[in-house]
Each structure stands twice: as C-alpha cells, then as structure tokens.
C-alpha cells in the first residue's frame, strides 16, 4: 500500500486545483489575470500534470489588487433589484444575472466588488481539459492552466453572458435568472451549459439556489477539481476574515480571526470551517457572511490595501465555499447558500439558529449523486448516479476520497462500508483525517478483510479502540487494492456511522 503523505489534497488532486480571484497584472490586452486560490504560495497556476503550470509571483498579485483603476464602466444599466426594507439586492442582466449589489436598504452601502467581470457574487465551475481550446481559439499563456471554466458574468474579453430568462416577483421578494455562461479564458466562446439562479430575500439575508445544466459535446470524465460554490468578492473596507474552525460548533466557542497578508504572501487560505460559514467584515465588525450548509471547506482572504476602495476598485476580499467535484458532461449540479448582512454576532447567531445541530456520524449514501467524493487512478460509470458508485480502477493504488465533513469519533465508533469488491486482493484499507491534520497518514488507517467476488456486502469496521480515532473527524479515504488487474473495481453503495441493513 502506498504511504500517504501529509498534504491538503493527495495527488493527483493537488495538481488540478485552479480557482480564481480573477485579476493580476498579466500581459493580455487588458493587463488583467485571475489568481488561483488553491495553489502554493509561490504559484498561481497548475495544470493536469505536475509539470504543467505557470507561475505568478506574489508581488504581481498584490500589485494588481492594490490598483484602484476601474476596468468596468461605472454604469450598470442591466441591474434589477429586490428590496424588502431590510436589504437591497441587485442582479446584473448585462453580466449573466450575477449578484452585483447587496446593501442595507436606504444606505447605498454595496459590499459587492465589481472591479471586473471576474468579481461579483457568481457561479463558476472547473473541469478539463487543460488547456481548454475551441477550434482556433486558445487561452492566453497565463490562462493555459485554467482549463474549462464557464463563469456567470462573462469572459476575460468583456463579453457578457447571455440572459435566456428573467423573472422578478416584488411581492414575494424573489427573482429567477437563466443564462448561457461564457468560457472565461477564451474570446467570445459561450459554454455548452446553462446557469440558473433563484434568489429570495428574508430579513437581512438572501437565500440563493444555483444550478448548472451541463450538456458538453466532450463526454470525457475529467478528474475532480475544486468548485467555487459560489465565488464571492467584497470591497476593500471588508478585510477582516473571520470564521469558526474548532471542534465544538454552535456552542459559542472562540472564533478564528485570520491574519491579512498585507503583501507578504499568497492572499488566499484554504481551510476547514466547522460551522459552514465565513465572513468578511469592516473595522466596526459589520459586513457579509456566507453560509453554505453542509460545506466544511472554504477558501478566502483579502488582497490589496486594506480598509479602502469602493465597488469598482481593485482591493478585494474573497470567500468561496468549496467542494471537489467531477463535472460530468451531462450533470445537473445544484447547490444552495445564504448571504447575511450584519454584525459578526448577528451573522453567527443567524447560522447557529438555523443550522442542523443534530449529532451524527458520517452518512455517505450514494443514492443519487457522488456526495462530493472523487477518485485517484480510477473512474466511475458517469452521471446519473443510480444507487451506488460503480468505480473501475485505472492504475496502481486507486483510492476514493470523501468531501470535507465533520463528526465526533465518539458519535460513530463503528463505520459500515457497503460495497461489492471485484478484485483479487482480499483486504482493503480505510483512512480517516482528524481536525487539524493536513491530510491522511498511515497511523490513522486500518485494513479490513473483504470478499472480492463482486457481491454487495456490509463490512463493519470497529474503530472504538483505535488510538488515533478520537476527537473530530473531517474526511475518509478508501483504498480498495494496491495493484489492480485490468477491469477490477468496486461498487460502493454507502459508508455510514450506522448500519444500513
């Protein structure tokens, strides 16, 4: 069995995480370029292979975000608004219906950054190939690493995404928008998918449902990549990045106030938020909270000069709830989140009041989707998922890795793996990652015997006496076999903290 090093994401995943705060001095005709928030501090780009990447210096990144020159017109004639007397929210129909305005009613204090088409609050997805080309249209060299990347607002050449449908109901304080997004790194290339958004105001919050309907002609199953769910950019005054990372969510335990880099390092951090929210606040502890129920992995931070700048200026704060997903050619991908305007206590109190705080163990049941799992050296039968993950191994050391999660070991002393192994090896290995650890490691793993005849069985794994299975657990990894023969694989129905039979 291959040894597992301590890393945020195990290869090959860490060679594919390219996400965006979208602008750095670049060299294209608009002198702009997105950042990639999942990469090493000294690099802002990675491709599908470890050697395929472009490097952006931290100095260039910070220089760009300190800029105050407007890249977009001050006029936003396409904006349409909801206003419930507590908050006012605007979507921009000239930019795919992205959220371009969010302010307390009557104050005109828009927290949303609109420096260019890569900011705002918007949908964005990533997949292969890397680089992504369409006919003779190719990305600029500094975008070669980004791959397939439709975003809601438009592309790097200022072509806005086309609106297909828009509805607004003032009485219900709801709106709906549907668009064809653009491929960010290419010049005027609509994506082979549609984006939909439903927005509803409730008090000082906006409840958003987002959906991608993907219909790519390229039917390749590309490896999983980080997805921004959604990408959120705020203005320079909101630089104080706050959330909760501890093992006692919803108890009022001490918050984490993240340091701002102030030009001394890569501006974005990628970490576990165990209450599923993060906030960017001004010096009065007021600002925007982003709550994505069930999402424990967030990126965020601040770039540029802190405390200054308006909606059209360069300095910006960034938050993105993150899941690592395979984006199938025909997938319908749906997620929900809540935007909260208020003070830090108001933001946290809202989440605590409305969150599901029922103690539980892991509950990965693959009935209709992958539950955010991904693979290394393996692939599955594709979308739609019908009651199980049907995985075929592609090479040595295939493994399946869960999304970031959270449960206490005491609430799930036994784990149950329901699977059908079709392989010659008669044991598999299960890893777990504890809160505060950088990744998986051999001391936090056990072998368990399997019957490799392709029949569905439930395997009970008793971890109650394991010295390293304690405290808060945040992820699992299943290694079915070490050296598979061609055609071997596993059908995985569930991994849970309670017996499914």
> 312 and 394, same structural domain?
no
- Could you tell me which residues come within 8 angstroms of residue 112 by beta carbon, excluding any fewer than 6 positions away? 99, 100, 101, 102, 119, 120, 121, 233, 234, 235, 311
**For position 265, what pLDDT does the model report?**
64
> 257 and 368, same structural domain?
no
7 falls within a domain: no
> 371 and 304, same structural domain?
no
> 111 and 37, same structural domain?
yes
> 282 and 174, same structural domain?
yes
432 three-state secondary structure: strand
183 falls within a domain: yes
Long-range CB contacts (within 8 A, 24+) of 378-382: 378/489, 379/221, 380/221, 380/326, 382/221, 382/328, 382/330
267 falls within a domain: yes
> 384 and 317, same structural domain?
no
| CA distance linking residue 143 with residue 160, whole number of Å | 19
501 falls within a domain: no
CATH code where residue 465 lies: 2.60.120.260
132 falls within a domain: yes
**Which H or E run includes 420?**
strand 414-422
> 350 and 372, same structural domain?
no
C-beta atoms surrounding 217 within 10 Å: 6
The reported pTM is: 0.87
Q: What beta strand segments (E) does 238-331 contain?
A: 240-243, 256-258, 268-272, 277-281, 286-291, 297-303, 316-325
Domain boundary among 295, 327, 354: 354
**For position 371, what pLDDT does the model report?**
97
> 209 and 169, same structural domain?
yes
**Separation of CA 154 from chain center:** 19
CATH code where residue 277 lies: 2.70.98
> 463 and 489, same structural domain?
yes
**Cβ pair 446, 466 in contact under 8 A:** yes
3 falls within a domain: no
**For position 77, what pLDDT does the model report?**
59
- What is the residue range of 462's domain? 363-496
105 three-state secondary structure: coil
> 133 and 87, same structural domain?
yes
Domain boundary among 354, 384, 404: 354
> 331 and 373, same structural domain?
no
Domain boundary among 354, 381, 397: 354
Q: How many domains does the chain have?
A: 2
393 falls within a domain: yes
162 falls within a domain: yes
> 399 and 250, same structural domain?
no
Per-residue model confidence as pLDDT tens for the chain (501 residues): 222 222 223 323 333 334 444 443 333 333 333 444 333 322 332 233 333 333 333 444 444 444 444 444 433 558 999 999 999 999 999 999 999 999 999 999 999 999 999 999 999 999 999 999 999 999 999 999 999 999 999 999 999 999 999 999 999 999 999 999 999 999 999 999 999 999 999 999 999 999 999 999 999 999 999 999 999 999 999 999 999 999 999 999 999 999 876 556 678 889 999 999 999 999 999 999 999 999 999 999 998 999 999 999 999 999 999 999 999 999 999 999 999 999 999 999 999 999 999 888 899 999 999 999 999 999 999 999 999 999 999 999 999 999 999 999 999 999 999 999 999 999 999 999 999 999 999 999 999 999 999 999 999 999 999 999 999 999 999 999 999 999 999 999 999 999 866
């Amino acid at each position: 069995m291959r040894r597992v090093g301590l890393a945020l994401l195990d290869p090959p995943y860490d060679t594919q995480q390219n996400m965006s705060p979208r602008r750095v001095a670049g060299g294209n005709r608009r002198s702009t370029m997105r950042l990639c928030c999942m990469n090493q501090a000294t690099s802002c780009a990675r491709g599908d292979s470890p050697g395929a990447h472009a490097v952006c210096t931290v100095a260039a990144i910070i220089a760009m975000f300190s800029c105050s020159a407007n890249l977009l017109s001050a006029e936003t004639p396409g904006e349409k608004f909801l206003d419930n007397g507590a908050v006012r929210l605007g979507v921009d129909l000239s930019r795919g219906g992205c959220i371009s305005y969010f302010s307390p009613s009557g104050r005109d204090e828009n927290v949303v950054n609109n420096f260019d088409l890569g900011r705002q609050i918007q949908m964005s997805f990533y997949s292969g190939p890397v680089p992504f080309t369409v006919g003779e249209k190719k990305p600029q060299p500094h975008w070669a690493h980004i791959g397939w990347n439709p975003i809601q607002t438009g592309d790097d050449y200022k072509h806005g995404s086309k609106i297909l449908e828009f509805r607004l109901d003032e009485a219900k304080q709801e709106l709906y928008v549907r668009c064809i997004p653009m491929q960010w790194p290419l010049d005027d290339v609509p994506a082979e998918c549609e984006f939909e958004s439903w927005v509803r105001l409730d008090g000082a919050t906006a409840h958003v449902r987002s959906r991608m309907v993907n219909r790519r002609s390229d039917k390749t199953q590309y490896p999983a990549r980080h997805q921004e769910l959604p990408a959120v950019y705020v203005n320079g005054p909101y630089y104080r990045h706050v959330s909760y990372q501890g093992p006692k969510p919803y108890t009022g335990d001490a918050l984490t106030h993240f340091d701002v880099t102030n030009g001394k390092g890569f501006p974005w951090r990628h970490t576990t938020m165990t209450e599923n929210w993060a906030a960017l606040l001004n010096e009065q502890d007021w600002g925007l909270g982003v709550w994505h129920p069930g999402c424990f992995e967030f990126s965020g931070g601040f770039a540029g000069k802190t405390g200054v700048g308006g909606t059209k200026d360069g300095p910006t704060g960034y938050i993105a709830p993150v899941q690592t997903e395979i984006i199938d050619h025909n997938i319908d991908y749906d997620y929900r989140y809540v935007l909260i305007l208020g003070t830090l206590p108001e933001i946290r109190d809202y989440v605590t009041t409305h969150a599901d705080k029922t103690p539980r163990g892991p509950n990965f049941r693959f009935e209709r989707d992958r539950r955010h799992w991904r693979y290394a050296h393996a692939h599955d039968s594709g979308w739609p998922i019908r009651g199980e993950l049907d995985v075929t191994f592609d090479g040595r050391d295939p493994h399946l890795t869960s999304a970031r999660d959270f449960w206490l070991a005491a609430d799930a002393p036994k784990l149950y793996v329901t699977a059908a192994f079709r392989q010659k090896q008669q044991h598999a290995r299960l890893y777990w990652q504890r809160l505060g650890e950088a990744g998986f490691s051999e001391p936090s793993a056990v072998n368990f015997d399997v019957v490799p005849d392709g029949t569905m069985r439930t395997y009970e794994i008793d971890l109650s006496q394991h010295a390293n299975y304690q405290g808060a657990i945040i992820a699992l990894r299943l290694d079915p076999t070490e050296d598979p023969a061609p055609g071997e694989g596993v059908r995985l129905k569930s991994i849970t903290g309670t017996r499914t039979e």
